[in-house]
Amino acid sequence: MRYQHAVVTGGAGFVGSHLCAELLDRGTAVTCVDDLSTADPRNVTHLEGRPGFTMVEADVREPFDVTPQADLVLHFASPASPADYLRLPVHTLETGSLGTRNALALARRHGARFVLASTSEVYGDPREHPQPETYWGHVNPVGPRSVYDEAKRFGEALTMAEAQANGTDAGIVRLFNTYGSRMRGHDGRAVPTFIRQALAGEPLTVAGDGRQTRSLTYVDDTVRGVLAMAGAAGLRGPVNIGNPDEITMVDLARTVIRLAGSRSTVRYIERPEDDPTVRCPDIALARERLGWEPRVRAAEGLARTIAWFREQEADAAAPARADTAGRDGVPKAA
């Protein structure tokens, strides 16, 4: 299904910026709404000037509107990395509550399809494995991670209430450990942290004994899954969007070292409180209702992501190199 005008809250963020680009490629006009509290505006610089793209700097915790009328609202606004939600705990909870309310109100006014970006974090430290959508989770509601977990859990409840009470065509996707280009090296998530450390030749800091698992989903696969859900009018979900291929954290670290051609070693550090032991999606529902499953294997996706980080390092170094040379490229005298 092709939409005419989509609103992407959090559209300047990591996943949101990829969604904006893919929607534009599919012929959909896009309004990106972001307060830039955790996003890098350079994520959407390449979209500025493209026909149909509009950037609106706004905080979704306050009511907002867009023109022209939208027929799709993708609510991706939220601090998502540990570094961000631990720094902005109240902001995170308010974005999941007030922000979701305001995004749902926009969808209701415009008669638009609404998709909430929820997370595998709603399963907490799961006691059922892999995790199907019917599993209610094992979450510490007052722990340090609760500001993110409970924001998303409340957002899910509010989305369902809106659909039932007001008939808004709303659905929920639960995303599992998405990674790829435009992640920040210091955001606290495993993949960018390991890549940053490997490229710098630093030890890769693995929490605990490194045997805890995650299921990594390359961003291109996540975007396809989200837009498949967007096109599944009437489907509320929630639907898991993730890669069921598990990997331990120590194996992930060693894979990054190998793919980066790094001489880094592994250093074990204290495991954070409430750090999940396992995380793996049951994607039977996504296969059945969306015809979706991941395509990008971890080695391929990690290699692409490492290459992107290298490009960023090279771009950052270029001005410094230019500043040390004269106009003819000859180094300046000290």
Cα(55)–Cα(220) distance, rounded to whole angstroms?
Answer: 22
Phi, psi torsion values for 270, nearest 5 degrees: -65, 140
Structure tokens at 69: 């009328």
Could you list the beta-strand ranges (E) of 59-110. Answer: 72-75
Cα(140)–Cα(232) distance, rounded to whole angstroms?
Answer: 33
Closest C-alpha to 250, from 213, 281, 280, 217: 213
Structure tokens at 94: 């308010």
Structure tokens at 252: 């992930």
Q: Please give the helix or strand (H or E) that residue 109 lies within, else none.
A: helix 100-110
Q: Please give the helix or strand (H or E) that residue 255 lies within, else none.
A: helix 249-260
Cα(215)–Cα(298) distance, rounded to whole angstroms?
Answer: 9
- The SS3 call for residue 169 is coil
Q: Please give the helix or strand (H or E) that residue 303 lies within, else none.
A: helix 298-323
Closest C-alpha to 2, from 287, 223, 227, 291: 227
How many residues would you count in the chain? 334
Cα(163)–Cα(81) distance, rounded to whole angstroms?
Answer: 28
Instruction: For residue 266, give Cα distances in angstroms to 252, 253, 262.
Output: 11, 7, 11
Cα(133)–Cα(140) distance, rounded to whole angstroms?
Answer: 19
Cα(146)–Cα(128) distance, rounded to whole angstroms?
Answer: 20
Active site positions, annotated: 148
